[in-house]
Structure 1
Amino acid sequence: MADELHIASLVVHVHPQALNQVAQGLLQVDDAQVHGTHPDGKLVVTLEGPNAGAIMDKVAQIQQIEGVLNVSLVYQHAESRHFLNQEVGHDQHPA
């Protein structure tokens, strides 16, 4: 598909003492968002990009942040931007 949006979710495992440092480092990764953290050293992160290669490049960038132990790709979805920009209708069900 041309003109796609890929969305991926990750769990980033880090040294617990590096949790804040890694969260700050993730701010340098384009289109990365941290949605949650756990004091044991886990972050829930989403990435967006135009293709799977761009997502994997961002995963590689995250792996290079000091304090990161592992990056686990949990889910990846691709959707045409055309469909993402369409209005969602509501189904009418008879009473």
Structure 2
Amino acid sequence: MSNINLSPESAKDWHVVGLIVQGNPEKFAAIRTALLAIEHTEIPTFDEKFGKMVVVMQSHDQHILLDNMESVKDIDGVINVSLVYHEQDEQKK
């Protein structure tokens, strides 16, 4: 992962994706902790009983974002990851 820490205001491009992540409810806390350890990742809502969560990831680089999204599949207890939204914001400078 890149050591560049850019904000949406300072980046040339900014990508935002929305994911639905389904995981084993028994491993839900560990999945949530692992997701929140990924830079520019948020979990705006979740249902622990059913092991489902909405995850928002952001990055200035689409390749970093793709790597982060792919890494979610490798988290112990994750069953399925579905991309439901993508937006690219190009800054006018």
TM range (shorter): 0.7 to 0.9
2:8 alignment counterpart: none
Which residues of structure 1 form unaligned runs of 5+? 84-95
Paired residues in the alignment total 82
Using the size of structure 2 for normalisation, the TM-score is 0.80
The structure having more radius of gyration, on CA atoms, is 1
Matches within 5 A, 1:1-95: 3-38=12-47, 39-82=49-92
Distance 2:61 2:86 in 1: 10
RMSD: 1.6
Could you tell me the TM-score, scaled by structure 1's length?
A: 0.78
SS at match of 1:19: helix
CA apart distance, 1:25: 0.7
CA distance in 2: counterparts of 1:32 and 1:50, whole angstroms: 13
Q: CA deviation at 1:27?
A: 1.8
Structure 2 Cα separation of the partners of residues 62 and 28 of structure 1: 11
**Poorly superposed stretches of 4+, deviation over 3 Å:** none
* Unaligned stretches of 5+ residues in structure 2: 1-10
Percent identity of paired positions between Structure 1 and Structure 2: 26
CA distance in 2, matches of 1:80, 1:45: 22
Indicate conservation of the 8 Å contact 1:11/1:44, yes or no.
yes
